[in-house]
């Protein structure tokens, strides 16, 4: 099985990337390299597999057989150990100018194994304007064997000067049946569960996998989807908002604390804390305090982003719920993401109008925008729950 066979529901993109990998091999042999370029932009909705497609393409560039899926090159890319592949993940709220400049310097180096040097930038939409301008120069004049793979939900998430210099690979939401089939065949998830989570996550493969394997995640989803029914008054709206934000904070704290403790201990060790012997002391050596402060800043930013991501996932579940309500109000013959909550959907369908439902969806989307703009989560979610209770306001 080749690396492109793993891209669930992305047959058209897989064909284009396979041809480009063949063109890259021709380029290395002195040919024209048809279809190959040095800057790529992978776009698509959440769950479409942007990063998976970019990683598969990176493997195909390194592989002598353009992505066979079983050679050493493909294996190294799969586990993230290939010396010529750098995967950039924006763990904090944004990827700053300093980090971008350092990345550009590293990307300019010659490949270790002689084929390509590939930078796979996940979440490239998190670059602020100054960082984007710095990256533009590197994309305009890349070294001959450096390839940039940028991943964003939409081409509009990058400044036009960058996206105009990239070849765009557009991914789509995988069909529910394709996601369910992948879960059954790859993860041995029972067919009924696979179909349920594939439908509930609207084709988001990774979320579907986690939902199938994690009972706590299924319980959190149930709590979120019970919110519309619980909003019987303003007091209940405030309570629901507080509960949602508090749950997100606890989950973010659990994730962050597990990472923070190990990172801090490792950094202190690097800077000599606790060392013994001639010329050493038990405190941090010069520069250690500043490095610890920078790490703490990064960890705080990561915790904030994790909390926002948890809340955002809950908001997307609510959007899917009201989308189902709207579909039922119009009698649209579409698959319902929340078929398991049909009683709640039917109740809200009867007690509200399509205009109410659209206002509720707008309220959720405004909440997402406010959170992205650093509005206090409690205030943003409270405003949303009140609007869900009283959509006419």
Count of the separate structural domains present in the chain: 3
CATH number at residue 115: 3.40.50.300
| Element (DSSP H or E) covering residue 56 | helix 50-62
Are residues 47 and 161 located together in one domain of the fold? yes
Are residues 339 and 371 located together in one domain of the fold? yes
Are residues 159 and 184 located together in one domain of the fold? no
Tell me the pLDDT of the chain averaged across its residues. Answer: 88
Give dist(CA 100, CA 87) in Å, integer: 13
Are residues 266 and 383 located together in one domain of the fold? yes
Average pLDDT over residues 116-137: 89
Q: Is residue 300 part of a domain?
A: yes
Residue 253 has pLDDT above 60, yes or no: yes
Written as six digits, the tokens of 68 are 């066979």
**Nearest CA among 387, 383, 382 for reference residue 245:** 382
Q: Is residue 206 part of a domain?
A: yes
Query: What are φ and ψ of residue 169, in 5° steps?
Result: -110, 110
Q: What is the 3-state secondary structure (H, E, C) of 152-205?
A: ECCHHHCCHHHHCCCEEEECCCCCHHHHHHHHHHHHCCCHHHHHHHHHHCCCCH
Q: How far is CA 145 from CA 112, 130, 138, 388, in A?
A: 11, 25, 13, 53
Residues 228-240 have pLDDT tens digits of 999 999 999 999 9
Chain-centre distance for alpha carbon 227: 25
Are residues 83 and 199 located together in one domain of the fold? no
The answer to which of 63-77, 113-127, 269-283 has the lowest mean pLDDT is: 269-283
Residue 279 has pLDDT above 70, yes or no: no
Give dist(CA 357, CA 322) in Å, integer: 6
Interior angle at CA 124, CA 249 and CA 250, nearest 5: 5
Are residues 54 and 159 located together in one domain of the fold? yes
Q: Whose structure tokens read 């009924």?
A: 192
> What is the C-alpha end-to-end distance of the chain, expressed in Å?
55
Asked which of 136, 155, 170 is the last residue of a domain, the reply is 170
**Nearest CA among 212, 184, 199 for reference residue 339:** 199
Q: How far is CA 193 from CA 51, 79, 196, 210, 345, in A?
A: 25, 28, 5, 12, 21
Residue 281 has pLDDT above 60, yes or no: no
Q: Is residue 136 part of a domain?
A: yes
Residue 159 has pLDDT above 80, yes or no: yes
Average pLDDT over residues 7-25: 92
Residues 6+ apart with CB under 8 A from 313: 207
Give the pLDDT score at 91: 67
For the chain, the residue count is 393
Query: What are φ and ψ of residue 183, in 5° steps?
Result: -65, -40
State the helix-helix crossing angle for 191-200 and 205-213, rounded to 10 degrees.
130
Are residues 261 and 379 located together in one domain of the fold? yes
Give the pLDDT score at 283: 52
Are residues 148 and 207 located together in one domain of the fold? no
Residue 270 has pLDDT above 80, yes or no: no
Q: Is residue 360 part of a domain?
A: yes
- Report if pTM > 0.75: yes
Give dist(CA 226, CA 285) in Å, integer: 53
Q: Is residue 278 part of a domain?
A: no
Q: No. of H helices and E strands in the chain? A: 16, 5
What strands, in cross-sheet order, belong to the sheet with 117-121? 85-88, 117-121, 146-152, 39-43, 167-170
**Nearest CA among 203, 210, 244 for reference residue 383:** 244
Are residues 350 and 267 located together in one domain of the fold? yes
Residue 307 has pLDDT above 90, yes or no: no
Give the pLDDT score at 40: 96
DSSP codes, 95-150: --HHHHHHHHHHHTSPPSSSS-EEEEETTGGG--HHHHHHHHHHHHS--TTEEEEE
HSE value, Cβ hemisphere, 13 Å, CA-based, for 134: 18
Q: How far is CA 85 from CA 39, 41, 71, 147, in A?
A: 14, 17, 16, 10
Average pLDDT over residues 152-162: 91
Average pLDDT over residues 94-105: 86
Average pLDDT over residues 276-291: 57
């Amino acid at each position: 099985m080749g690396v492109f066979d793993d891209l669930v529901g992305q047959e058209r993109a897989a064909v284009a990337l396979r041809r480009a990998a063949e063109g890259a091999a021709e380029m290395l042999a002195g040919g024209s390299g048809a279809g190959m370029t040095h800057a790529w932009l992978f776009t698509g909705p959440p769950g479409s597999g942007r990063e998976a497609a970019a990683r598969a393409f990176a493997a195909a560039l390194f592989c002598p057989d353009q992505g066979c899926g079983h050679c050493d090159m493909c294996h190294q890319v799969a586990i993230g150990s290939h010396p010529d592949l750098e995967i950039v993940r924006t763990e904090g709220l944004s990827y700053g100018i300093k980090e971008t400049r350092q990345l550009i310097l590293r990307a300019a180096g010659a490949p270790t194994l002689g084929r390509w040097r590939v930078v796979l930038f996940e979440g490239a939409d998190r670059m602020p304007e100054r960082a984007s301008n710095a990256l533009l120069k590197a994309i305009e004049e890349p070294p001959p064997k450096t390839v940039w793979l940028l991943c964003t939900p939409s081409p509009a998430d990058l400044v036009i000067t960058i996206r105009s210099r990239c070849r765009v690979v557009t991914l789509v939401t995988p069909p529910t049946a394709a996601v369910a089939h992948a879960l059954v065949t790859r993860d041995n998830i029972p067919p009924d569960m696979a179909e349920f989570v594939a439908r509930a996550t609207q084709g988001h493969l990774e979320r579907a996998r986690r939902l199938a394997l994690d009972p706590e995640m299924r319980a959190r989803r149930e709590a979120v989807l019970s919110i519309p029914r619980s909003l019987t008054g303003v007091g209940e709206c405030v309570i629901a908002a507080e509960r949602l934000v508090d749950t997100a904070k606890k989950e973010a704290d659990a994730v962050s604390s597990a990472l923070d403790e190990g990172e801090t201990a490792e950094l202190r060790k690097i800077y000599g804390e606790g060392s013994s012997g001639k010329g050493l002391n038990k405190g941090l050596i010069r520069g250690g305090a500043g490095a610890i402060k920078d790490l703490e800043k990064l960890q705080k930013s990561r915790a904030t982003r994790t909390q926002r991501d948890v809340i955002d996932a809950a908001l997307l579940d609510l959007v899917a719920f009201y989308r189902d309500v709207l579909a039922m109000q119009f009698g649209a013959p579409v698959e319902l993401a929340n078929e398991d909550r049909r009683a709640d959907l039917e109740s809200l369908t009867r007690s509200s109008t399509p205009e109410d439902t659209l206002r509720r969806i707008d309220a959720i989307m405004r909440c997402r925008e406010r959170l992205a703009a650093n509005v206090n989560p409690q205030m943003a979610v409270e405003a949303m729950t009140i609007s869900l209770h009283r959509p006419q306001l």
